[in-house]
Chain A
């Protein structure tokens, strides 16, 4: 099988195939579609956090030793490696740390209307502490790092205790101040 490509050192050839070769049965192949489901219990920190979202609240956890307010919250601190100390209710406003304007869906299929996505640091948490979410009510031209934003919530009856209980973050009216 092995036949070297000309020249030193050791490069081995391979045989290129395309999707077309497969679709048109030009090569032999076999096929498999996995069917499997998962359910994840949410654990202590995320259960409380997501229950908070259902009530329209963003909750954090304090680490007194590191002087940090953690969002997303966790029951232990990854740096001082001790238990975190207390729950704290934060505002539903924040600052865009970074963002992207995506023309790809999750299967890398092309989409016409882009998704605005990014990381929001939440007011009241430590600097650069926040989570990923969508942005709305702003154009691709308006969005910028440092932009002040506020959560737009689903109506209480539609909330289910998920990160998507927040629909997206919109520009914060009344300015850029924290």
Chain B
């Protein structure tokens, strides 16, 4: 396999609804990435598009709809998709285009428009449930996460206030992000605990918002990378894993598929002790408890220990193991696939020293990003390292 570096990234602002079409958002994010890499469309060998359920946009097979905005016209182009896992799976696909040697430079574009869907994007989520056993019960997708959160809290005796700390941290971290939808420098644990009850134990401020947005990254082979930069950021390892769809037959207190994906990525990256060798992480945080759940799944602490480390400040931007220095999905927004902007673009910008106000002060060398999707079963993981 060839070594693969990242040489440019871009993202649009994230908002509940943006006037720009999906194509236009893809164009805007791609232009930013091309500009940072110092290349143009003709330098791109192949394009990967990441976008989640068609039902949000209301356009089936929307990869084709987005193609022209993603600089894909006239090139080898493919859309990849695994629900919420897409934001890290699309860059994994970009990596393998280059690692396999079929491309020297691959562009990855991720797009989502959830604002198109009425009365609420949740309505589209109805269509992902099993039609025989689940849909007759008129489920809401938040139920799934409420049930998983409850199982996790009960098994490890975790207090809601220790989960709310994650929402507070990430919404505060997002204050330094120019694209953020819900930054809040004054938010408190009480604000989260007093917010509207949606589906106990999930309250309004435990959840990231639906959003429109796009992000882009450019992957480059080792042979070509010195033309563009003296300080490349390398993709050292990738992993992905999916658990059985029979979610009512699984113990929801620990995401074993995340651990499987992490082990795959760590093995590829030569990481033996992730707690010591990884400097910071962008675990997927569509809900505040998910950051904790995923810290444990990524083997960055013991089961049930993530809330304690969070309470002790270890996961703050200036702590020993910063989590979601971007502001995460909770602070920057959750346009499903486009959260590549927080999960992988952020790793790249942090490791390249380009994260501006969000820069981790301790000079990080290695970061891990992760996403999560389908019916609480899909994990996608990537490890990045500074040259």
Question: B-contacting residues of A (Cβ < 8 Å)?
Answer: 1-2, 4-19, 27, 32, 34, 38, 40, 42, 46, 50, 70-72, 74, 78-79, 97-109, 114, 117-119, 126, 128-134, 140, 145, 162-164
Contact = CB atoms under 8 A, between A and B. Distances in A.
Nearest to A7: B356
B59 to A, nearest CB: 10
Contacts of A134: 137
Given A9-B32, A40-B132, A99-B150, A130 B248 contact: yes
Given A78-B246, A107-B123, A117-B143, A9 B150 contact: no
A1 B248 contact: no
B319 to A, nearest CB: 24
A106 B139 contact: yes
Interface string B300-336: 0000000000000000000000000000000000000
Interface residues of B, number: 67
B147 A8 contact: no
Secondary structure at chain A's binding surface: helix, strand, loop or mixed?
loop
Contact of B137 (A27, A108, A164): A164
A34 B127 CA distance: 13
Given A17-B18, A117-B137, A9 B36 contact: yes
B136 interface: yes
Given A9-B9, A104-B142, A105-B138, A16 B248 contact: no
Contact of A131 (B196, B248, B349): B248
Q: Please report whether the interface of chain B is mostly helix, strand, loop or mixed according to DSSP.
A: mixed
Contacts of B19: 14-17, 27
B132 A117 contact: no
A128 B13 contact: no
Nearest to A165: B136
Contact of B147 (A11, A42, A118): A118
Nearest to A6: B178
A173 to B, nearest CB: 24
A4 B35 CA distance: 10
Interface string B11-32: 1110111111000110111011
A7 B32 CA distance: 12
Contact of B122 (A15, A100, A108): A108
Given A15-B18, A128-B249, A9 B349 contact: yes
